[in-house]
Amino acid sequence: MNKGKEFFDAKERAGESLKKACENHVVDEQILPILKLLNSFPEYYTSSSCAGRIVLLEIPAIGDKKQAKFLGKWHRTIMIDELVESSETADKGFLWLLAQSPILHVGTLDLNAAEKLVKLAILSGFKNSSIRSIGKTIVIELCSTERLDTPIGKDSVLFCERIYLQLLVDVSNSVMEK
């Protein structure tokens, strides 16, 4: 099978997947215009993408992502009480607050298209953008540097006072708004 046909078949499948995700309301509405724009170019298609999120994770041990449990996940700004309430469901392990900026995965027709989009993304403020895979499909990841990853407790106990927790929520919300 030739490389161009593989790419366009993958682009078609990704388009169908996005259409179904939209119909099922599982696509971040805020990122949809960017996805539609990228998908309008013949040399690109989007796959897993997110407009950004705030997450409260319970991780049994540092690096144990397989056993991590989502206690809260929001694709919007949050209030401190939502974070505190979600932390009350914790059991055992480290509690981490994460604020993650938008991330887009884009399949590209060739390396020239990949390089062009990565350069444009970096110039637009998505400074952590790069080519992620040059295998069967060329995939680039577009993301910015704004993020927060911080431990806030362990074994269902928050280690920070409410005033500091409010600061972390404010910073997390700023990441989402940016």
pTM for this entry: 0.79
Q: In this predicted structure, what is the pLDDT of residue 27? A: 79
Could you list the mean pLDDT of each consecutive 10-residue stretch along the chain, which spans 178 residues?
A: 78 90 83 91 91 92 85 94 94 94 92 95 92 89 92 92 96 90
Q: Go through the domains of the chain in sequence order and give each one's CATH number.
A: 1-48+102-141 (3.30.1960.10), 52-101+146-178 (3.30.1960.10)
**Residue-by-residue DSSP string for the chain:** --HHHHHHHHHHHHHHHHHHHHHTT-S-GGGHHHHHHHHTSTTEEEEEEES-EEEEEEESSTT-GGG-EEEEEESS---HHHHHHHHTT--SSEEEEEEE--EEEEEESSHHHHHHHHHHHHHTT-TT-EEEEESSSEEEEEE-S-EEEEEEEETTEE-S-HHHHHHHHHHHHHHHH-
Q: In this predicted structure, what is the pLDDT of residue 109? A: 93
Q: In this predicted structure, what is the pLDDT of residue 29? A: 81
Q: In this predicted structure, what is the pLDDT of residue 24? A: 86
Q: In this predicted structure, what is the pLDDT of residue 3? A: 67
Q: In this predicted structure, what is the pLDDT of residue 2? A: 63
